[in-house]
Amino acid sequence: MSRRYSPFLLALALACGTAARAAELRPPPGASSCTGCHAQGAAMGALEGRSEAEIVAALAAFRSGERPATIMNRIARGFDADESRAIAAWFAARGSH
C-alpha cells in the first residue's frame, strides 16, 4: 500500500486540515469493486453495516476453502489478511443505510 507524501503535499494537507482525513477515508484497495455485486436486496447481500469481524472471518473462510462458495473463494484469494481487514473496516464504518 503506497502512502508516500512529498513534503509539499504534507504541508498542503496540514494547511487544508481535512486532506489527511479525506485520504484516510478513501476506500482501501479492492473495496470499491465489491458493491458491483453486494447490495441490499441482492442475492449477495450488502456489506455496509456488517461488523469488521464478520467480514474478516468470511473472507478468511472463503480464502481457506472452509466456507462453500461459487465465486468468493476465487476472489478472496486475491487479498491477504491485512488487506481483508482494511476492506472489512471500511464497510463496517459505512454503516447500514
Partner 1 sequence: MRAMPHGPTRRALLGGAAAATLACPALGGTRPRVVVVGAGFGGATAARWLAAGGVDTTLVEASPNYVACPRSNEVVAGLRGIEAQTLGYDALGRAGLTFVHGTARAVDAGARRVSLGDGTALPYDRLILSPGIDLRFDAVPGYDAAAAEAMPHAWKAGAQTVLLARQLAAMPEGGTVVLSAPANPYRCPPGPYERASLIAHFLKARKPRAKLILLDAKDTFSKQKLFEAAWARLYRDVLEVVPLAGGGQVSEVDPAAMVVRTDFAEIKADVACIIPPQRAGRIAAQAGCADRSGWCPIDPVSFESRLVPGIHVIGDAAIAGAMPKSAFSANAQGKVCAQAVIDLLAGREPETPRLINTCYSLVAPDDGISIAGVFRPTDGQLADVPGAGGISPLDAPDAVRRQEAAYGESWYRTITREVFG
List residues near partner 1 by CB under 8 A.
1-5, 8-9, 12-13, 15-19, 21-23, 25-30, 32-40, 42-44, 46, 48, 70-71, 74-79, 83, 93-95, 97
How far apart are CB 10 and partner 1 at their closest, in Å?
10
How far apart are CB 60 and partner 1 at their closest, in Å?
14
CB 91 within 8 A of CB 38: no
How far apart are CB 4 and partner 1 at their closest, in Å?
7
| Distance from C-alpha of 96 to C-alpha of 56, rounded to nearest angstrom | 18
| Distance from C-alpha of 39 to C-alpha of 37, rounded to nearest angstrom | 6
